[in-house]
Amino acid sequence: MVAKQSSLVSWFVWGLLGLTVLAISVLYVRTRSNQSVHITDRMPVYGRVESFRLTNQLGTVSSFADVAGKVWIANIIFTRCPGPCPRMTERMAALQKSFPADSPIRFVTLTTDPTHDTSPVLKRFSERFGADPSRWFFMTGPMKEIAKLALEGLKLTALEKDADQRTSPDDLFIHSTVFILVDQKGRVRGSFESLEPEFHDQVVSAVNALVRTNPH
């Protein structure tokens, strides 16, 4: 069991190292609105999300089919996080409120801590923030599958902290605080720093641009 856990942590480490150069160029891209230039003209394709199959907060399967043909926004957190995760989740909740329930937009939150963050734990956590489970999916599952989606598909980084680097018992992971924007074809189109003041307006503008470009 220990060996298996170590191999999964190593997968995260090597996945992170292998994507470092790409992550630097992708994760901190700012997609800002400008009336003189169409937003989507400045939203190149950074990659593509392949099929995935994880478990959501209701204990049912969430897969690529749940977001196919939709614009979606993704981030990565863990529920025991003593740092930015609650604020990040509040920001995602504010985005959810900014779009009608019947809009073609979905929200995805991955956990870095699937051993603890089971479906019941994620359900309680999601309810704290008013998440609509029909369009905001909190996903858990095998570490390897989460890593594949997070690192390879979404360019989101996550790394377990060494024990001597932790400031508290729950200070377990270093992870991205950016939100990733994915278009209707599963292509990564933008990255937004969730802790910046202009974050909300930037994301809403970019999402609306993608919806207008391909409304069906």
Q: Where are the domains of the chain?
A: 2-213
CB-CB contact of 183 with 189 (8 Å): yes
Per-position pLDDT tens, the chain of length 216:
444 444 344 444 434 443 443 443 344 444 343 432 356 656 888 889 989 999 999 999 999 999 999 999 999 998 988 778 899 999 999 999 999 999 999 999 999 888 899 999 999 999 999 999 999 999 999 888 888 898 888 888 755 544 555 444 444 345 578 899 999 999 999 989 888 888 999 999 999 999 988 755
The Cα-based distances of 24 to 110, 135, 194 in angstroms read: 21, 30, 16
The rounded distance, in Å, linking the Cα atoms of 108 and 112 is 13
Query: What is the CATH superfamily name and number for domain 2-213?
Result: Glutaredoxin (3.40.30.10)
Query: Cβ of 2: how many Cβ atoms within 10 Å?
Result: 6
CB-CB contact of 92 with 129 (8 Å): yes
pTM: 0.79
**Closest to 175 measured CA to CA, from 94, 56, 88:** 88
Beta-strand ranges (E) seen in the chain are 47-48, 53-55, 61-63, 71-77, 105-111, 136-139, 158-160, 173-175, 178-182, 187-193
Q: What is the layout of strands, in order, in the sheet containing 178-182? A: 47-48, 187-193, 178-182, 71-77, 105-111, 136-139
